[in-house]
Amino acid sequence: MIRIVLCAVVVFVLQVSAFAAGGGRPELRAMLGQMLLVGFRGAELSDDASILRDIREHDLGGVILFDRDVQLRTVGRNIQSPAQVRALSARLQAAARTPLFIAVDQEGGRARRLREDAGFPFSPSARAMGQSSPDATWQEGERTGRLLAGLGINLDFAPVADVDVNPASPAIGALERSFSADPETVAAHAGAFSRGLLSRGVLPCLKHFPGHGSAMADSHLGLTDISRTWSPAELIPYERLIPLGVSPLIMCGHLFLERFDADHPATLSPAVLTGLLRERLGFTGVIVSDDMQMRAITAHYGLEEAVLRAVEAGVDILVFGNNLDYDPDIVPKAVDILVRGVDSGRLSRQRIEASFDRIRKAKALLAAPSGAMREAAGDRS
């Protein structure tokens, strides 16, 4: 097992280095494949598994692992034990021509996929971490990064940068996913956790822009309108952390905020993603969607329109968790939608190349954690 994992690590580093170096533009469909990150079923994979097909034939950019299958109401979907996850990660990377993001939601507390009953160590909630010092939160981030890196997981959809405006918020406050009701404290702890992950070669992803902490509803279940509860103070964590470069990825939430866009949720809004996040706040990294199969999107938009609007708005990576709903062909369907968008002139090739470049730069960090990544982490060695 150790030899297999070490070989996979060597291959992965070589793949990342080659990917980062460029060497000419890949064809359009390969660039579009890099813009997708999907979930799949299976703790072990047969050679004909659809996810391996997607990696080999569509140059899929990333996968996300879950411990539970929401639709089937079963446990052990992708995560059953440390040894099993290491083998699964190695199998996925071995199928890839270009390096995969292998992602997980490992925030801590109730929001974690790696649990004690499967042999993983306990990790505290963001709220619990927020009551300690940022240095202690850095240590938790470092411990989480060490755990994930040892499993072949290189992207953590954490930390949450939401401000705990509403402690009863069903998706954030009620689950203790926010560090604090004070935005400066959130910034300090989210930055510390991010640096801890980076110190172990794992990329963090701040979420859920522009702020989910005041929401009265859960976007998994339907439209989440924060127009009456949101305040500009919820941008403070992003205002503090973006200039520091501690998170090369930011996830947007399916949040409707009328003051910026009276028609569309943030994921589909050029005003929020391009105008606010990129132009006003100066974020140059990768914008990741929340799960495009959440009811906040699927109840109001068809697949084709949602995919095209998200990319038009500024999303670089479209996430399909394939857990609320399951479609083994979601990758070829999404690639075909994007190809039609380019062929029709609705999306320009330059727009696709811009996302591809941002993804390539983020993945390049994985090849040299002793360089730019450690600098962003605030090297403590």
* Catalytic machinery residues: 220, 290
How far apart are the C-alpha atoms of 236 and 239, rounded to whole Å?
5
What is the CB-side half-sphere exposure of residue 267 using CA atoms within 13 A? 33
E runs forming strands in the chain = 36-39, 62-64, 68-69, 74-75, 101-104, 106-108, 111-112, 155-156, 203-209, 224-225, 249-252, 255-256, 286-291, 317-320
The H or E element containing residue 123 is none
DSSP 38-66: EE---SS--TT-HHHHHHHHH---EEE--
What is the CB-side half-sphere exposure of residue 326 using CA atoms within 13 A? 12
Beta-carbon contacts of 380 under 8 Å, excluding residues fewer than 6 positions away, are 199
- 101 neighbors 153 (Cβ within 8 angstroms): no
Grouping H, G, I as helix, E, B as strand and the rest as coil, residue 219 is coil
